[in-house]
Amino acid sequence: MACCVAPEPEPFGPLPTDAQLAWQRMEVNMFCHFGPNTFSGAEWGDGSEPDDLFRPRALDCRQWVDVARQAGMGGIILTAKHHDGFCLWPSAFSTHTVADTLDVLRAFTDACREGGVRPGVYISPWDRNHPAYGTDAYNDIFANTLREVHTQYGPLFEQWFDGACGEGPNGKRQRYDWPRFMQTMSDLNPQCILFSDIGPGCRWVGNEEGRTGDPCWSTLTTEGATPSENKPEPSVLETGHQGGSHWVPPEVDVSIRPGWFWHPDEHTKTVDELMEIYYNSVGRNGLLLLNVPPDTAGRISAEDSTVLVAFRNERDRIFAHDLAQGAKVSALSRSGHKAKSVLDTAYHTYWAAMGKNAELDMKLDSIREFDIVVIQEYIPLGQRITNVQLSIDEGDGIYPCTTADYPLCTTVGYKRIIRLDSPTRTDRLVFTFHALAPPVINRIAIYNSKAQ
Ligand code: FUL
């Protein structure tokens, strides 16, 4: 009957491309800072380091890939060139590179492809070695460098354009030709996610502490800005812009150790610290790019790999049993789509509410104890929810829950993980959504983080 056929919800605002959606669904990726700094102890080399300082004793990129896979990471981004200008491949556009016999970028991309992990690169625009830095000729050199890497080592899933911009060896600063770099990239590989402070593929999250802002919008207004000029303040990059003009989701880059490069006297974060980062990044609409720096041998240390595997095991344990399975779900507001779609694990099924303010009633199959609620908006149709209130049936009535971080949870986006103050027992939850357009939700799940 025509009256009962639910209309498909209209898309709302800027939308992710297929490549951005696939990227966001990777959730946790690995960053590898590796280069002369690994050997000198510096974080920012000045470009005067001798080429033969970089001498990994037993380079093993397959081991990086094994660790990434065991840690549940589907992509790795390597610093193919950091600010010191040293190229981890034998570039035709620099004299400060590895020898042909030690082509780290080749070993890395080969190992990733063999191991089923997607390779990406960080190529610093700021170059403290290149004599042409600070002149127009450097823009040609940088565009050629991008072309060289992406044609000879591609396809690469992500290109990192770091925001740091300082002087070259000649004391000059560069005016980067961003339109040209971006055009070069979209000619070479339109699917490649371009990271910079303002995207266009994904944006810097505005801090290096392992958290997004709250709220956190994937939309950002970027008119008049470039990755190095007139860009929003870091605090704005944390939250994005509600109603922003472009889809530029946040990437949360943070290191497992105090520094970005490996240093012998630094130690790794604990599993608890990594879990906190996970909740504050993936759990708040970000993609977590966790830096795990290879050591002077050219391997990921046992200290780091042990904690990474434990971090993965902890996530697997906590998110193993969705206690909402078997629930009866109904929408109190008029609903066009089956509310129970929020329970299935298929990505492209969803419940679409009819109004901007909507309620969903979830009757569990028995009284359950839980302390985590996961909500996912169906972002292929845009990011809509401005806040959500969770209430539970306490036997004598329905009461709002207080959560660890927020009296009222703000934005949802790709994924929101809400942690409750304490484990809660109930057989009925009510979700109240407020949104810019009728909410479209593809998943709601509940978990008990204390369960073994
Ligand atoms: C920053 C750089 O200056 C750091 O060295 C590091 O690469 C970090 C990821 O980005 O802007």
- Kind and range of the H or E element at 109? helix 104-115
User: What's the confidence (pLDDT) of residue 452?
Assistant: 74
* Chain segment 194-236, per-residue pLDDT in tens: 999 999 999 999 999 999 999 999 999 999 999 999 999 999 9
pLDDT tens, residue by residue, 139-184 = 999 999 999 999 999 999 999 999 888 999 999 999 999 999 999 9
The atom of ligand 1 lying closest to the CA of 261 is 5
Q: What residue owns the CA closest to ligand 1's atom 2?
A: 164
Query: What's the CA gap between 199 and 192, in Å, rounded?
Result: 12
In this predicted structure, the answer to whether residue 4 has a pLDDT above a threshold of 80 is no
Amino acid at 4: C
Q: Note whether 406 and 213 are within 8 A (CB).
A: no
With CA atoms as reference, report the closest residue to 362 among 386, 343, 377, 347.
343
Report the alpha-carbon distance of residue 244 to residue 339 in Å, rounded.
29
Mean pLDDT of the chain: 95
Quickly list DSSP for 214-251.
Answer: SS--SEE--TT--SSSSPPPHHHHHH--TT-SEE--EE
Q: Tell which atom from ligand 1 comes closest to the C-alpha of 122.
A: 7
Q: What is the pLDDT of residue 401?
A: 85
- Return the best residue to mutate from 162, 203, 292 for the ligand 1 pocket (most ligand atoms within 8 A of CB): 162
Cis geometry, peptide bond prior to residue 200 (ω within 30 degrees of 0): yes
Nearest atom, ligand 1, residue 255 CA: 9
Distance CA 410, CA 91 (A): 47
Specify the residue with its C-alpha closest to ligand 1, atom 3.
Answer: 164
Q: Which two tokens stand for residue 414?
A: 């790709």
Alpha-carbon distance of 66 to 168, in angstroms, equals 37
What 3-state DSSP class applies to 186? helix
Say yes or no to pLDDT of 451 above 80.
yes
* Ligand 1 centroid distance, CA of 248 (Å): 20
Binding site membership of 261 for ligand 1 (Cβ less than 6 Å): no
- Cβ 260 under 6 angstroms from ligand 1: yes
Q: What is the whole-number distance in angstroms between the Cα of residue 163 and the centre of ligand 1?
A: 8
Ligand 1 centroid distance, CA of 58 (Å): 25
Query: Which residue has its alpha carbon closest to ligand 1 atom 4?
Result: 260
A 10 A CB-CB count for 366 gives 8
Q: For atom 11 of ligand 1, which residue has the closest CA?
A: 164
Task: Check pLDDT > 70 for residue 405.
Answer: no
Instruction: Find out whether 38 and 294 touch, Cβ atoms under 8 Å.
Output: yes
Residue 166 beta carbon below 6 angstroms from any ligand 1 atom:
no
User: Does the CA dihedral 257-38-120-181 come out positive or negative?
Assistant: positive
Distance 153 CA to ligand 1 centre (A): 23
- Average of per-residue pLDDT across 80-109: 97
Tokens 């989701």: give the residue.
249
* Predicted TM-score of the model (pTM): 0.97
Return the pLDDT at 336: 59
- Can you list the alpha helix ranges (DSSP code H) found in 45-135? 61-70, 104-115
Report pLDDT digits (tens) over 23-64: 999 999 999 999 999 999 999 999 999 999 999 999 999 999
192: CA distance to ligand 1 center in Å? 20
pLDDT tens-digit map of 265-302: 999 999 999 999 999 999 999 999 999 999 999 999 99
Assess whether the C-beta atom of 253 lies below 6 angstroms from ligand 1. Answer: yes
Q: What is the pLDDT of residue 333?
A: 59
Q: Rounded distance, CA 34 to CA 376, Å?
A: 35
Ligand 1 mutation pick, 260, 263, 288, 290, max ligand atoms within 8 A of CB: 260
DSSP 105: H
Q: Is the CB of 164 under 6 A from ligand 1?
A: yes
**pLDDT given at position 1:** 38
The Cα–Cα gap between 380 and 21 comes to 7
Bridge partner residues of 357 (DSSP): 434
CA of residue 83 to ligand 1 center, whole Å: 9
- The whole-number pLDDT of residue 212 equals 98
Q: How far is the CA of 164 from the centre of ligand 1 (A)?
A: 7
304 pocket-lining for ligand 1 (C-beta < 6 Å): no
Looking up tokens 């060139």, which residue turns up? 81
pLDDT tier for residue 72 given thresholds of 50, 70 and 90? very high
The pLDDT assigned to 334 comes to: 58
Q: Which atom of ligand 1 is nearest to the CA of 82?
A: 7
